[in-house]
Structure 1
Amino acid sequence: MKSYPQNIEVKLGFDKIKEELKSLCLSTLGEKYVNVLSPQYKVYAIQKLLTQTNEFRKIISAGYSFPQNNYIDIRAALKKSEVRGTFLEEEELFEIKLSLNTILGILIFLKDKEEEYPELAALCLNIELDESLAKELEAKIDDKGVLRDNASRELVRVRTDIAKSQVRARTTINKVMKQAGANGYCPEGASITVREGRMVIPVLAEHKRHLNGFVHDESSTGQTVYMEPAEVLEINNELRELKYAERREIIRILTELTDRVRGSLVPLESAVHFLGIIDFIRAKAGFAIKYEGICPELSSKPVLNWINARHPVLEMALKEQGKSIVPLNIQINHQQRILLISGPNAGGKSVCLKTIGILQYMVQCGLPVPVAENSKFGVFSSLYMDIGDEQSIENDLSTYSSHLKNMKFFLDNSDKNTLFLIDEFGTGTEPQFGGAIAEVILHELNRKGAFGAITTHYGNLKKAADKLDGVVNGAMKYDIKKLEPLYALEIGNPGSSFALEIAGKIGLNREMLGRAKKLAGVSHVQFDRMINELEVEKAEIKKMRKEIEQKDRRLSDAIKDYEELKSFMEEEKPKIIQQARSEAARIIKESNKQVEETIREIKKSDADKRRTQEARQRLKEMESKVAEPDKWPTKTTEPKVEIYAIGDKVRIKDGETIGEILSIRGKKAELAIGSIKSLVALKDLSKLSNTQYKSLSNERVRKISGIDVNAKMTSFSPNLDIRGVRAEEAMVKVESFLDEALLLGYEEIKVLHGKGHGVLRDIVRTVLRGNHRVGVVKDEHIEFGGSGITVVELK
């Protein structure tokens, strides 16, 4: 991708992104790829880079044991091994061994998971390493980077002889030193030391002639000399010869191993290149995790549809200060190719511009970006920007001249695949001329079909953006009441600079502000005021729309509840009528039996047979009429459908229980009955007015407080049986029973509710938990009813 100016990465802050990537690399191999990182303009190439990073991110997130150690740059050692006759040192071969093991571990991992990570596995295709080289290096170099004793038979023999000679030399010299010490020839606390690779003992200078041997060194004061006793001279000579033999054998082995490396130079160089790429991709995946970046959807068309876009460098800086960034929603497409951003100073216009630049630059470099998942990125072939003060002393260019020079480059090089970014368009000269030139340049860039974003304060550009096809106004949002920036971008309307308002907030004299308005001109002030008023009206409309939406949702819920209740009533109505008819038939049938009994009695008393027969016939006719519901009159009065709402006061039908509706759930309502909450079918409720509810509540209190204690004591039983009672009635009965027991001073009561499904038991326990005068609650002893009876100890 072509970019302008040369220091575009510094201006965007991309240099800091690179530094962050380098810090996440494990070696200089990965850092090398960070240094040459540059944007691509082919969609398939960018997609490949993003997919590689996304696959590695999945590896990290899955917690797989991916090789992470010994990403070593062995290129210098490989270069050294190219010359025949040379040999690599043990440390260099050790690094090759470690690097080889890491590369082989990565190859094994990716080949095993080729289906899961196809793009990463594809990187392994051209890597062909000779595993025997790794095995040979492992066999001859230990984990400390030293040749193993068994690297060859000769090395085993030489090192064995060295060990034996060292034992002989130490034994002999210890004997000599012990004798010298006994004679007072050695300094107090002296010990054996080594000089020039030979074992020596420290001797006081005045006694050096009392011992046979060779002086190798003396102390800085000259009071002590270091002598090699004659007794160990020959042994030390043998040791030196053995050391020479050891070194010759080591060089032979190292030369042999270097030859093996030289024979695999080409595949080794490819493997090192592969290791660097893996390190680089791993760093990009780590960056994505740290900055919550994603690999977004790409489009071959130049388009930006970003949701919750964040500038990564700014976001990290704000986090360090304990602040959070305001995400931006940005749309640039063929209908609105150029976005003109206005608003007050320090409102976030330049940050918005840099966010567009750095995120587009990052994604075309194959880097994950901090945006929402459903964001979409297009690809541009060139990115140009004009941000900041470019005054040049060397070229004798002013800031404005520099801007114009940049504009000329934009006009000469922009096309339909260009993305340009211009900050403070037209500033640096007289506003009247600067605004006019900027408007002409805007027209020309728009004519070329280029894409871009521009920040400005000029009113003529805002007006032009409203008229030009392909150009759209945008504003950085501002709290008009508090006169504080909100740092959020809103596309569709221009923004005000709020210059006069900010000046007033700072404390400038009102009279001065009035004069400034006159100098600015009526049209400019009116235009700015109109933008401000539009902002206020827009905020009010947004607030009203939100309230209307909330009311609409509540209305929809109420209509839904009404429809459900009506449907329920229509479904239940035939069932209720049928039940009533069946019950009526049963009652008449029972009555008929009773009449038959009466007739039998009449017969016994010789009553008139004809009249008896007539009575029986009338009973049969009535029974037949009741037993045939289809012949019943069909005209019925439509029952009134009650509409309930939260807060309504209600009574449970067929009882004295009253409560308040807390919520409505379909065909049921959640009631607050005293301290208890219960779900009751809407069909079982009847609405009460506030006066009725208060009256019934007071009546209940009077009933409790007006009790004749003596009479109640004689009739009260400490055992309550609620088996077969409905849940709502059970709550009322238990509450009343508890109130009476506390009033009469009982210490223990029992509630018989049976076992069943445990519903009544749960209700009893819930009521008891709501009373602070209840102490211990437990099941009755197993022999007397167990969990079917609740025993309550009262405080």
Structure 2
Amino acid sequence: MIYPDHFERKIGFAEVRTLLKGRCMSTLGTEWVDNHVQFSSNFDEVSEALSQAKEFGDFMQAEEEVYEENFYDVRQSLMRIRPERTYLEELDLFDLKRSLQTVVSIVQFLRTTTAEEEAHAADDTVASAATTEGDTAADNLDERAAHAKYPALYRMTEGVGCFPQIIRRIDTVLNKYGKMKDTATPELLSIRHNIEVTTRSISHSLRSIITQAQADGYIDRDVSPTLRDGRLVIPVAPALKRKIKGIIHDESATGKTVFIEPAAVVDANNRIRELKAAERREIIRILQILSGEIRPHINAILGSMQFLAHIDYLRALAIFSEQFQAVVPQLQRGPRIDWVQARHPLLQQSLERHGKQMIPLDITLRERGRILLISGPNAGGKSVCLKTVGLLQYMLQCGMPVPARENSIVGIFDDIFIDIGDEQSLENDLSTYSSHLLNMKTMMRRCSSRSLLLIDEFGSGTEPQIGGAMAEAILQKFVERGACGIITTHYQNLKHFAETCTTVINGAMLYDRAKMQPLFVLQIGNPGSSFAVEIARNIGIPEEVIRYASDLVGKDYVMSDKYLQDIVRDKLYWENKRRNIHEREKKLEQTIARYENELSHLSTEKKEVLRTAREEAERLIQDSNAMIESTIRTIKESQAEKERTREARRELHSFREEMKTRDQQAADDAIARKMEQIRRRQERKKEKRPQQPAALGNLVQALSGGKTGNTAPAAPATPQKPQVGSYVRIKGQNTVGRIQSMQGKTARVLFGVMVTTVPLSRLETTTKPVEKTSISKVSTFISKETRDAVYEKKLRFRPEIDLRGMHGDEALTAVHYFIDDAILLEQHTVRILHGTGTGALRTMIRQYLSTVGGVKSYRDEHVQLGGAGITIVELA
């Protein structure tokens, strides 16, 4: 591909890179954006990258619970442990474990989307290194991916190493907060147990020493041990420092306090130091062993980190696409541009920030219009159109969704050439026009039928007549090479050239002559006017200057420009007319289709009514025939005369014909009644509140034995006078309470658990509320965002609060929120550091803790760790 080095900056892709990197979770993703988001002219590569982006966007929306977004760059830490006896620190191990968990979750989910892969994932043995495969293996991969829910993402997992055994091994030594477990090794457990025992003995000794010293009057009653250089000491006045045997470690800044380590605990404190050093050595030994187990897999883990970087980039790209409504358009191999509702993302962001609306563009380049020549007024949107095409095409061939409609059809270009803006170079002694001609030289020499040219202000920068002629000659060369392109210009000769050339088509950025402002709408088919005279007149250029300029160019030129404006205006008018007519025809077709559907429904109902009526008539005739046959049988049995029998038969025949006629009439009447009912039903559907027919009321009255259906409501019961124990409610409200006591014209009413004094004039008596005996099962749902917030808060929560220096009310408020958070996060023990002082703050805090239901107990901290200056709170 050949294009200037400043291409990305000119079209704004450098800013798009910055936006993408700002949405990445780690340096893994930002480095992927810098190193792998590159222009490609390979159709298969671009198609695969777009499929990955689209599928991951769907994956994020549909499978948000699959994995936690832990993206940590541990590559430098892994590289540091390549030499023997080096080790990963606890935090590095914790980050490695969480990153590998993310890889395992994603890879196993994508690989288990087919039944065949579920069997492989069941034994928890996902491949730990990439392998080289031949053509057969690649075919098998494509075949397996075809059955996956996300085929492109499935192909991404090929050769990615997952290390569940390393995750499990790290879990055996680190807790859920990333700290070394006591049970990591028996030696560590023994060391920490000894530290705890020794600490208790020191605390017991110090408590005895302080009690004795307080009894002897050497130290104050509120004195508690403090920590200096990792050793527990007692604050003593300088005058009394000889009274307590021990080592002076420090003194206060004012010199009024010295800190003495009693001799009785010196050996124990030394023992604590030794045990702490042994603990650190054991932790390092554990980390060295664990790092040695990880060391053989470093290269494969680094490959997994590349997969994680790709996922981080796809996640950022999905967020970017959602923000700018970017989609994956229809892709074809040959060079083609058919953008529908295309938007420049940076311009869209800027306009939205200022509360303005973006006007999208429809841009088409096809076989019979491979080069689009756009003309129109300055500041009318020509350059924006050019940059929009350049940026969207570049984004697409970098494998990114673009802000346009999904029905856009776009091809792949081998090269994109650009010439936008002033390229004057003082260092190389090049003028604007010289730089422009150098770019044209490069384009003419290297462009092909698979190249896209983006040229702004074609031919400008020199004398118009020769500049226009040179531009026309260069354009002819582009046509001969079969290149595609979008070119903006003001030259009339180029507009005439486009009218005579089959592969170049005119386009115009529309301008509202009435409001004298651009419309930012691209219209393909006709050239545009520069509106030089109108813009000059609108700005306020003197009329004699405008008239003089018009005389210079000639009346024909001015009139031709005016005629061109009229043509554009008329075309826009008729386009709007055509669009309105098309919309009305569409609505008319919908209305006709609806009526035809209703007519078909009515015809079906009519046939059903006719069928029912005929069946009823047939049944009546059959009943009549039965009666007739019974009559004939009776006549025969009566042994009547033959003449009388014939006469009876004639009468019966007449009766039969009469019954048929009557049944047919009844059927016709039934059909007519049914059709009338259907018509009335259609009319009632149009009414908002259909009224009950009067006949229905008569029918209800008849069925109820003469009682009307709308009986008068029962007379309301006479309101009772409120008294103690009555159930009442405030007038105009629904909450029911019970009167507990009355005094004069007021009453104390219990509403739920709250007692309120209410004037009797505002109360009205009511019945006792019905108690619901059924126990409803309440189901709760906690969103992922809430759970993530609680989890994040739990990770950041410190089970200790420092209140020293706070006032009483401020401290109580802080303790209130601290205890609430601790209960919410299911902490069992927390520490409140309030200091000793006069003891007022400690007393106030403990009085408050006595009122909190979630507090099981509280006590002083171990004397070695703070004593009475710290309150240990046990939570239920």
Instruction: State the alpha-carbon separation in 1 of the partners of residues 277 and 201 from structure 2.
Output: 19
Q: Is 1:778–1:792's contact at 8 Å kept on the other side of the alignment?
A: no
Instruction: State the alpha-carbon separation in 2 of the partners of residues 503 and 559 from structure 1.
Output: 53
**Matching residue of 1:136:** 169
Instruction: State the alpha-carbon separation in 1 of the partners of residues 516 and 258 from structure 2.
Output: 87
Q: Give how far 1:203 is off.
A: 1.6
**Matching residue of 2:55:** 55
Instruction: State the alpha-carbon separation in 2 of the partners of residues 140 and 180 from structure 1.
Output: 45
Q: Is 2:100–2:163's contact at 8 Å kept on the other side of the alignment?
A: no
The one-letter code of the counterpart of 1:39 is F
Q: Secondary structure at the match of 1:263?
A: helix
In the alignment, structure 1 residue 522 sits paired with structure 2 residue 555: yes
Q: Is 1:780–1:791's contact at 8 Å kept on the other side of the alignment?
A: no
Instruction: State the alpha-carbon separation in 2 of the partners of residues 410 and 57 from structure 1.
Output: 38
**Matching residue of 2:11:** 12
Q: Give how far 1:355 is off.
A: 0.4
**Matching residue of 1:438:** 471
1:68-104 residue CA offsets vs partner (Å, 9 max, x unmatched): 3221001011101101011222121121122122211
Instruction: State the alpha-carbon separation in 2 of the partners of residues 327 and 551 from structure 1.
Output: 24
In the alignment, structure 1 residue 333 sits paired with structure 2 residue 254: no
Q: Is 2:340–2:404's contact at 8 Å kept on the other side of the alignment?
A: yes
**Matching residue of 1:22:** 21
CA gap 1:540/1:765 in 2 versus in 1, 3 angstroms: closer
Q: Is 1:779–1:791's contact at 8 Å kept on the other side of the alignment?
A: no
Instruction: State the alpha-carbon separation in 2 of the partners of residues 552 and 234 from structure 1.
Output: 100
Q: Secondary structure at the match of 2:704?
A: helix
Q: Give how far 1:178 is off.
A: 3.0
Q: Is 1:212–1:229's contact at 8 Å kept on the other side of the alignment?
A: yes
| Higher alpha-carbon deviation: 353-362 or 33-42 | 33-42
Q: Following superposition of structure 1 onto structure 2, how do residues 338-417 of structure 1 map, counting pairs within 5 Å?
A: 338-417=371-450
The one-letter code of the counterpart of 2:233 is V
The one-letter code of the counterpart of 1:34 is V
Q: Is 1:27–1:73's contact at 8 Å kept on the other side of the alignment?
A: yes
2:237 aligns with one of 198, 201, 204: 204
Q: Give how far 1:506 is off.
A: 2.8
CA gap 1:67/1:759 in 2 versus in 1, 3 angstroms: closer
Q: Following superposition of structure 1 onto structure 2, how do residues 443-454 of structure 1 map, counting pairs within 5 Å?
A: 443-454=476-487
Q: Is 1:208–1:225's contact at 8 Å kept on the other side of the alignment?
A: yes
Q: Is 1:727–1:763's contact at 8 Å kept on the other side of the alignment?
A: no
**Matching residue of 1:587:** none
**Matching residue of 2:70:** 70
Instruction: State the alpha-carbon separation in 2 of the partners of residues 778 and 191 from structure 1.
Output: 95
The one-letter code of the counterpart of 1:71 is F
Instruction: State the alpha-carbon separation in 2 of the partners of residues 200 and 223 from structure 1.
Output: 15
Q: Give how far 1:244 is off.
A: 2.0
Q: Give how far 1:196 is off.
A: 2.4
Q: Secondary structure at the match of 1:171?
A: helix
Q: How many residues align?
A: 614
In the alignment, structure 1 residue 783 sits paired with structure 2 residue 704: yes
CA gap 1:447/1:167 in 2 versus in 1, 3 angstroms: same
Q: Is 2:71–2:308's contact at 8 Å kept on the other side of the alignment?
A: yes
**Matching residue of 2:251:** 218
Q: Give how far 1:153 is off.
A: 0.7
Instruction: State the alpha-carbon separation in 2 of the partners of residues 245 and 764 from structure 1.
Output: 89
Q: Is 2:173–2:183's contact at 8 Å kept on the other side of the alignment?
A: yes
- Among the aligned pairs, what percent are the same residue? 40
The one-letter code of the counterpart of 1:481 is A
1:462-488 residue CA offsets vs partner (Å, 9 max, x unmatched): 111111231111101122332221111
Instruction: State the alpha-carbon separation in 2 of the partners of residues 287 and 76 from structure 1.
Output: 29
CA gap 1:390/1:550 in 2 versus in 1, 3 angstroms: closer
Instruction: State the alpha-carbon separation in 2 of the partners of residues 763 and 109 from structure 1.
Output: 54
CA gap 1:354/1:725 in 2 versus in 1, 3 angstroms: closer
The one-letter code of the counterpart of 2:390 is G
Instruction: State the alpha-carbon separation in 1 of the partners of residues 263 and 204 from structure 2.
Output: 14
Q: Secondary structure at the match of 1:358?
A: helix
2:199 aligns with one of 159, 166, 178: 166
CA gap 1:549/1:332 in 2 versus in 1, 3 angstroms: closer
Q: Following superposition of structure 1 onto structure 2, how do residues 592-631 of structure 1 map, counting pairs within 5 Å?
A: none
CA gap 1:96/1:406 in 2 versus in 1, 3 angstroms: same
Q: Is 1:779–1:790's contact at 8 Å kept on the other side of the alignment?
A: no
**Matching residue of 1:511:** 544
Q: TM-score, normalised by structure 2?
A: 0.65
CA gap 1:439/1:762 in 2 versus in 1, 3 angstroms: closer
CA gap 1:492/1:786 in 2 versus in 1, 3 angstroms: farther
Q: Secondary structure at the match of 1:512?
A: helix
Larger RCO (alpha carbons 8 Å, 6+ apart): 2
Q: Give how far 1:396 is off.
A: 2.5
The alignment yields a C-alpha RMSD, in angstroms, of: 3.8
Q: Secondary structure at the match of 2:370?
A: strand
**Matching residue of 1:93:** 93
The one-letter code of the counterpart of 2:318 is A
Q: TM-score, normalised by structure 1?
A: 0.71
Instruction: State the alpha-carbon separation in 2 of the partners of residues 146 and 551 from structure 1.
Output: 71
Q: Is 2:103–2:162's contact at 8 Å kept on the other side of the alignment?
A: no
Q: Secondary structure at the match of 2:234?
A: strand
1:222-241 residue CA offsets vs partner (Å, 9 max, x unmatched): 32222110010111122122
Instruction: State the alpha-carbon separation in 1 of the partners of residues 273 and 211 from structure 2.
Output: 25
**Matching residue of 2:328:** 295
1:114-145 residue CA offsets vs partner (Å, 9 max, x unmatched): 51112112222212333221101011111222
Q: Secondary structure at the match of 1:4?
A: coil
Instruction: State the alpha-carbon separation in 2 of the partners of residues 12 and 154 from structure 1.
Output: 64
Q: Give how far 1:779 is off.
A: 6.9
Instruction: State the alpha-carbon separation in 2 of the partners of residues 68 and 13 from structure 1.
Output: 33
CA gap 1:262/1:180 in 2 versus in 1, 3 angstroms: same
Q: Is 2:684–2:690's contact at 8 Å kept on the other side of the alignment?
A: no
Q: Secondary structure at the match of 1:46?
A: helix
Q: Secondary structure at the match of 1:383?
A: strand
Q: Secondary structure at the match of 1:367?
A: coil
Q: Give how far 1:408 is off.
A: 1.8
Q: Give how far 1:490 is off.
A: 0.9
1:142-185 residue CA offsets vs partner (Å, 9 max, x unmatched): 12221100000111111111100001101111221233344444
The one-letter code of the counterpart of 2:321 is A
Instruction: State the alpha-carbon separation in 2 of the partners of residues 521 and 20 from structure 1.
Output: 52
CA gap 1:786/1:258 in 2 versus in 1, 3 angstroms: farther
Q: Secondary structure at the match of 2:422?
A: coil
Instruction: State the alpha-carbon separation in 2 of the partners of residues 777 and 244 from structure 1.
Output: 101
**Matching residue of 2:510:** 477
Instruction: State the alpha-carbon separation in 2 of the partners of residues 557 and 171 from structure 1.
Output: 92
Instruction: State the alpha-carbon separation in 2 of the partners of residues 553 and 109 from structure 1.
Output: 47
Q: Is 2:455–2:486's contact at 8 Å kept on the other side of the alignment?
A: yes
Q: Secondary structure at the match of 1:98?
A: helix
Instruction: State the alpha-carbon separation in 2 of the partners of residues 777 and 64 from structure 1.
Output: 63
Q: Is 1:130–1:264's contact at 8 Å kept on the other side of the alignment?
A: no
- Please identify the structure whose Cα radius of gyration is greater: 1
Task: Return 5+ residue gaps in structure 2 as ranges.
Answer: 115-147, 607-653, 662-670, 714-876
CA gap 1:763/1:231 in 2 versus in 1, 3 angstroms: closer
**Matching residue of 2:33:** 34
Q: Is 2:234–2:259's contact at 8 Å kept on the other side of the alignment?
A: yes
Q: Give how far 1:520 is off.
A: 2.2
Instruction: State the alpha-carbon separation in 1 of the partners of residues 322 and 687 from structure 2.
Output: 54
1:55-75 residue CA offsets vs partner (Å, 9 max, x unmatched): 111112225313232210010
Q: Secondary structure at the match of 1:344?
A: coil
Q: Give how far 1:112 is off.
A: 2.3
Instruction: State the alpha-carbon separation in 2 of the partners of residues 538 and 235 from structure 1.
Output: 98
**Matching residue of 2:496:** 463
Q: Secondary structure at the match of 2:427?
A: coil
**Matching residue of 2:275:** 242
In the alignment, structure 1 residue 262 sits paired with structure 2 residue 295: yes
